[in-house]
Structure formats: structure tokens, C-alpha cells
Amino acid sequence: MFLFFFVISVITTIACGYTEKNATGNVLLLFLLLLLAHRNTLTSITALLFLFCCALYAPAGMTYGKINNSFIVALLQTTADEAAEFTGMIPVYHFLVSAAILVFMVIFWRTHHRGHRNWLALLLFVLCSVNSWPLRMVKGTVVGTTDTLREMQRYKQLSQHGADNWKILPGVPLYDTIVIVTGESVRRDYMSVYGYPVPTTPWLNMAPGLFIDGYTSAAASTVPSLSRTLIYDYEQNPDSGNNVVALAAKAGYSTWWISNQGKLGEHDTRISVIASDAEHTVFLKKGSFASRKTDDMLLLQETERALADKSSPKVISLHMIGSHPNPCDRLNSWPNHYLEQYPRKIACYLASISKLDNFLGQLDGILRRHSRHFAMLYFSDHGLSVSDSANPVHHDGHVQGGYSVPLIITASDITSHQSVSRKISARHFAGIFQWLTGIRTENIPPFNPLTDEDNEPVMVFNGERNVPADSLKPQPLILPVRGK
């Protein structure tokens, strides 16, 4: 019987995805809990309820790993067709694991010690359950479901924002295809194309395009920054529908939003509401931005699918996870050539920028294959604090580096590499979008980043209030340590 309990403990732990860390400890803990539960009717019922949940989740757990908010969101939002497709992707033998757990449950119940008098077993069972992985799994599922339902309700409420009041003027599209790439957490002064002395952007260094030096993000974190960037009148009316996605759609463009950020979550929901104005939406993550470690390179595959669509003109918005802290988690299999000269997290940050460079180079190649007349605009939602402190790479609204971001434009008709120094706030993004696309509105004039700039101090939102960007503390660049 002991051997049978141990085998089921191994199978159940694997099936629920709890072997990535401390696999041996997790197996032994479940083995001990089952032995203790077997000595008391109350604990036996508790164990059976848990095992039944494990049996239900086992096929998915063996395929996708331990349960998380991303899985919960997918479960709550899945249609019947998607559920059938999801089930069809699971190998048949994974369902046999569920059957094995169910058989064990029958044997467990028939052989358990009946009665409630074994209080020592009950006490030990409770003590061993504290912070155990089965309890964490149950708690995580309950909390995750509650959070997801709350965010779904919040999404529904935010989606009821006012209709846009864009007033479109006659105009001619300048390009058949416009791709807007929203980067994440990239500071331009760590890009060699903007002068950083270590080669972090070899493709951009040589690429034809417009490279704006002086573009400043509206805030130092994603939601407040992109809200003020993509919605031109956000600060006057946070519920406004006047975002650039709605603008493109109203001007007659087919619109796509393809995201490697989250769809639902404290840091995602408001931006996904903007995305919902697109005709086509693809989220690589169903839950929050941190729910899965999906690679930005997958965005390129989805872009190819969007480009294969024959509709024209079109605007495709790509939202990257980019260099979001922890940058080491963003590399996946991307090589890190900076470890010998920098502390690990800073080396990862630089490697994530070199990965971005490769991403943009591949995207440019894809566009040139698919479209004769295209433009690509890249900007980062905000920067980061990069220092030699104990927390070297993090969000910080009190330093200039939190807002110092790139603005890059490449196009089929741009043939030279041009660096332009202009003091421009990201709050002009809707105007820049009009300038790039050829769309014209009564609401705001186009903003030409080659000739226009802010004559007044550029204001940024530091998390509490708007302050002049120039009033914030500058940060010295972290340079390579020779001989490290």
C-alpha cells in the first residue's frame, strides 16, 4: 500500500505541474499527506476532494504545467469550439492519468480508517498542509478565479467608454500598410543607434530610417503612459474613445492589435480595452502580462498572418513584452554576450535590446516581402532606472531615464539613415500617427517629428502629478567594466 501511495503521489505531482522546483520535496509531502489523511474520515474526504480536482486538471496540467491565471482566463472565456480544439491538442495518455487517479480514489476510500478519533493524524495533517503545494494550488485557483472574474467585470465596464468623436477630413493614405510597434521598458541611451558605446543595435545602426532623439514618454509605467499616448484627450476625459485604433478604423483602415502583454490584469485591462477597438485582436496571453513567458518573436508569425489578409490599407499594432523587468526572463533562448562586462541583470537588459534590434530587423524584412508601400513606427512605452544599485533595473518615475525612450520610423520610401534631435512629448503621438498615415481630422493637426517640437517644457506624469521632465534627476550610463 505504501508503494501504491508513493506512485500516486509522483503521478499527481507531475500531473499538476509541481515538478519544476523542489520536485522531490513536493512528492514526499503529498505522500505524507495521503498517509495521514488515510487515518481519519474527515481528512480522507478532504484528500479525496483534492484528488478529484487533480484528476480533472491532470490532462491540461501535463500539457501546459501548473494552473495559473492565464489558464483560468482561458477556461472562463473559452467557446465550445475553442474547448474542443483545446481538448484535441491533449495526448490521449494524459486522460489515462486522470483515470489512474480516480481508481486510486476508490481504493483510498475503501481502505481508509473509518471514524474521527485519530486526532493525532488530523493534527499532523493540518500542520503539514500549511504552505503545502496542494493548499497553494487550491488557494491560487480560488484567488485566481476571483481576480479574473473581477477583471472581466472591470473590462466590461471600461469597454463602455464613450464613443469616439473623431471627425475625419478628406485625405489619401500614404502607405498601404502601417505597423505600430509598442516596445516595453527600453531606454534609448542604451541603444547604440543613439550613441551607446557598446553595440546593442547592429541592425538599427545601419538601417534607413528616422531616429528621433528627444522623444519623451508620458509616464514611467505602461498603463498611465499608453493611456496618455494612445488617447489624445485622456487627461481631459479618461473615458474618451478617442484613441488611435479607433481613429484608424474610422478612417477606413483594417485594424489589428497583436499583443504579447496580458489581456486581463491590474496592469493590462485598460490597454486591452483600447485594443478592443481593433477589428482583429490577438493576445498571446489570456491573463496578465506575467501569466506566461511567451516570446516576442511569436508576434512576427501573427504579423505574417495579418499581412496575408488582402484588405488595404491596414494598421497593425504590435505590443511587445520587450525589456520588462526582470529582463533576464525576456531572453528565452536569445544569447547574452554582455555577461563578461556587466552585472547579470544589466547584461540581460542590454541583451534584451539586442533582441529587440533583431526583432525589428526581421519585421522590416517581412514588410518588404509583403508590401510595396509600408511604414513601421517603433516607440517604447517608458524607460527604466538602470544603475549599479542592489535593484539595478526597475521602474522609476523620479529619474529622467524612466521617460527617455526611442522613436523610430522606417518606411519603403525612406532610403537614408537620419538622426533628428527634437524635444517631443509622447502626448503628440496621435498627431504623429496622422502625419505618418495621411489621415486628417478636425480634432487635432498632424505633428511632423522632423520639423515640429515642444517649445514649452515637456511634462511627464510621475505617478502622482505632471512634472517637467527636465526637473528630474539624470542617471549616468552604466559602461562596461574592462577585465571583469
**419-466: pLDDT as tens digits:** 999 999 999 999 999 999 999 999 999 999 999 998 889 999 988 889
- Kindly tell me if the per-residue pLDDT of 287 is higher than 90: no
Strands (E), 228-383: 254-259, 280-283, 314-319, 374-380
- Kindly tell me if the per-residue pLDDT of 242 is higher than 50: yes
User: What pLDDT was estimated at residue 80?
Assistant: 52
Give me the percent of the chain exceeding a pLDDT of 90.
54
b/e map of 27-61 (b: 16 or more CB within 10 Å)?
bebbbbbbbbbbbbbebbebbbebbebbbebbbbb
Distance CA 307, CA 251 (A): 19
User: What pLDDT was estimated at residue 209?
Assistant: 98
Q: What is the pTM of this model?
A: 0.74
Distance CA 108, CA 404 (A): 62
Distance CA 483, CA 474 (A): 27
Angle at Cα 203 formed by Cα 414 and Cα 423, nearest 5°?
60
Residue 215 C-alpha cell reads as 522623444
- Kindly tell me if the per-residue pLDDT of 382 is higher than 90: yes
Average pLDDT, the chain: 87
Helix ranges (H only) for 89-132 are 92-111, 119-129
User: What pLDDT was estimated at residue 389?
Assistant: 87
Residue 249 C-alpha cell reads as 478604423
> Residues 70-127: pLDDT tens digits?
566 556 555 454 455 556 667 888 889 999 999 999 988 888 877 656 666 667 777 7
> Residues 332-351: pLDDT tens digits?
999 999 999 999 999 999 99
257-270 average pLDDT score: 71
User: What pLDDT was estimated at residue 417?
Assistant: 98
Neighbours of 187 (CB within 10 A): 27
- Kindly tell me if the per-residue pLDDT of 53 is higher than 60: yes
User: What pLDDT was estimated at residue 271?
Assistant: 80
Instruction: Considering only residues 84 and 406, tell me which one the structure prediction assigns the higher pLDDT.
Output: 406
- Dihedrals φ, ψ of 241, to 5°? -95, 10
Distance CA 310, CA 279 (A): 14
Strands (E), 124-277: 168-169, 177-183, 209-216, 254-259
SS3 169: strand
Topology adopted by domain 168-471: Alkaline Phosphatase, subunit A (3.40.720)
The secondary structure of the chain in percent helix, strand, coil, rounded to multiples of 5, reads 45, 15, 40
User: What pLDDT was estimated at residue 91?
Assistant: 80
- Kindly tell me if the per-residue pLDDT of 270 is higher than 60: yes
Contacts of residue 330, Cβ cutoff 8 Å, sequence gap at least 6: 296, 321, 322, 323, 324, 348, 352, 355
User: What pLDDT was estimated at residue 88?
Assistant: 64
474-480 average pLDDT score: 95
User: What pLDDT was estimated at residue 153?
Assistant: 67
Nearest-10 Cα torsion for 206, 208, 214, 218: -110
User: What pLDDT was estimated at residue 161?
Assistant: 61
Instruction: Considering only residues 189 and 57, tell me which one the structure prediction assigns the higher pLDDT.
Output: 189
Name the band, by pLDDT with cuts 50, 70 and 90, for residue 291: very low
Is there a cis peptide before residue 134, judged by omega within 30 degrees of 0?
Answer: no
150-173 average pLDDT score: 75
Contacts of residue 481, Cβ cutoff 8 Å, sequence gap at least 6: 341, 342
Query: Highest mean pLDDT range out of 44-53, 103-112, 356-365?
Result: 356-365
User: What pLDDT was estimated at residue 152?
Assistant: 60
The span from the first CA to the last CA of the chain, in angstroms, equals 57
Ranges for all domains in the chain classified under CATH 3.40.720.10? 168-471
User: Any idea what DSSP says for residue 130?
Assistant: T
Task: Name residue 14's amino acid.
Answer: I
